Each structure stands twice: as C-alpha cells, then as structure tokens.
Structure 1
Amino acid sequence: MKYQTELKDDLLFVRLEGDLVAGKDTQQMIEEVDVIQDGKALLCAIDLSNVRFMDSSGMGVLVSLLTKFRNRGGELVLIKPSDHIRKLLIVTKLNAIFTIAENDDYAAQFLKESIY
C-alpha cells in the first residue's frame, strides 16, 4: 500500500492506494497520523478511491483511526471508496459508523461542520 498525507487548514487528508492490509506501510501510516494528530489535528479524511482490496485488518485500521479522532473530540470521514470497498463496508455494517463523502470538498465541509 502507498499513502500520502496532507495537512490543509487543520484538516488531515490521507490518500491510500493499493491494498489496505496489515503490513509495514500500514503501521507507518498509522504512526504518521498519530504524530500529526498529536499536533492537534482533529479532522481527518481518508481517500479510499484507489484502494483495490481491504481485509479485516484494513477494516480494523479504519475503525482504530476513527476511534482515535472521536476520542479527542474530532471526526473522520471516508472519501469515495471503490465499489468493492463500499460493498465491504455495507456487508460488515461499518457504513453505519462511517460518513462517506464523494469528494474532498464535501468531506471538508462535513468535517468543519461536525465540530462547530
């Protein structure tokens, strides 16, 4: 899995590409998000549009990140999951706990409104 992080107006964007499974890259991404969050970033948008596959550990990563942000009074949304990932979220009922945005603008608007 490849990833990029971008902090823009106190909003953390994490863009994932490839397969969201347990591994060194996934752990590195979690650690980087933790460091950025310690800098008081309370809002996060994870772009899943280029994620091809996700297993149970990948779902665990998303739930863990959501929990970390909510425990600090923040929020996390998922941006445009692929059809395969969207189906997984529905089957596992995770679509009930995650907000899904269709683009960066909607994600940013939702996140900013969620803390005010």
Structure 2
Amino acid sequence: MKYQTEQKDDILFIRLEGDLIAGTDTQRMIEEVDALQDGKALLCAVDLSNVRFMDSSGMGILVSLLTKFRNRGGELVLIKPSDHIRKLLIVTKLNAIFTIAENDNFATQFLKESIY
C-alpha cells in the first residue's frame, strides 16, 4: 500500500493506494498520524478512491484511525470508497459509524461543520 498525507485547511488528508492490509506501510502511516495528532490535528479525511482491496486488518486500521480522532474530540470521514470497499463497509455494518463523502469538498464541508 502507498499513502500520502497533507494538511489542508486544518484537515489531515490521507490518500491511500493499493491494498489496505496490515503491513509495514500501514504501521508507518499510523505512526505518522500519531505524530501529526500530537500537533493537534483533529480532522481527518481518508481518500479510499484508489484502494482496490481491503481485508479485516484494513477495516481495523480505519476503525483505529476513527477512534484516535474521536477520542481527541475530532472526526474522520472516508472519501469515495470503491464499490468493493462500500460493500465491505455495508456487510460489516461499518457504514453506520463512518461518514462517506464523494469528494474533497464534501469531506471538508462535513468536517468543518462537525467541529464547530
């Protein structure tokens, strides 16, 4: 899995690509997010549009990220998961706890409204 992070308008954007499964890349991403949260990042948008596969460990990573942000009084939103990922979220009922946005603009709007 490849990932990129960027801070834009007080929101941490994490852009994932490839397969969201446990491994050194996902561990490095979690550590980077932890370091950014020490800098008081409260809002996060995870772009899943280029994720082609996710297993149970990948779902666990998303839940872990959501928990980290909500425990600090923040929020996390998923951006444009593929049909395969959407089906997994529905089957596991995780669609009930995650907000899904269709693009960066909707994600930004939702996150800004959630915190204020």
- Could you tell me which runs of 5 or more consecutive residues in structure 2 were left unpaired when the two chains were aligned: none
**How far apart are residue 52 of structure 1 and its match?**
0.4
**How far apart are residue 95 of structure 1 and its match?**
0.1
Deviations, residues 17-56 of structure 1 (Å, cap 9, x unaligned): 0000000000000100111111001000000000000000
Q: Using structure 1 for the length normalisation, give the TM-score.
A: 0.99
1:92 aligns with 2:101: no
Percent sequence identity is 89
**Could you tell me how far apart the structure 2 residues matched to 1:105 and 1:9 are?**
11
Q: Using structure 2 for the length normalisation, give the TM-score.
A: 0.99
Alignment RMSD (CA, Å): 0.4
Q: Any residues of structure 2 matched to 1:1-116 within 5 Å, and which?
A: 1-116=1-116
Q: Which amino acid aligns with 1:15?
A: R
Runs of 4+ in 1 over 4 A off after TM superposition: none
Count of residue pairs brought into register by the alignment: 116
**Could you tell me how far apart the structure 1 residues matched to 2:54 and 2:42 are?**
25
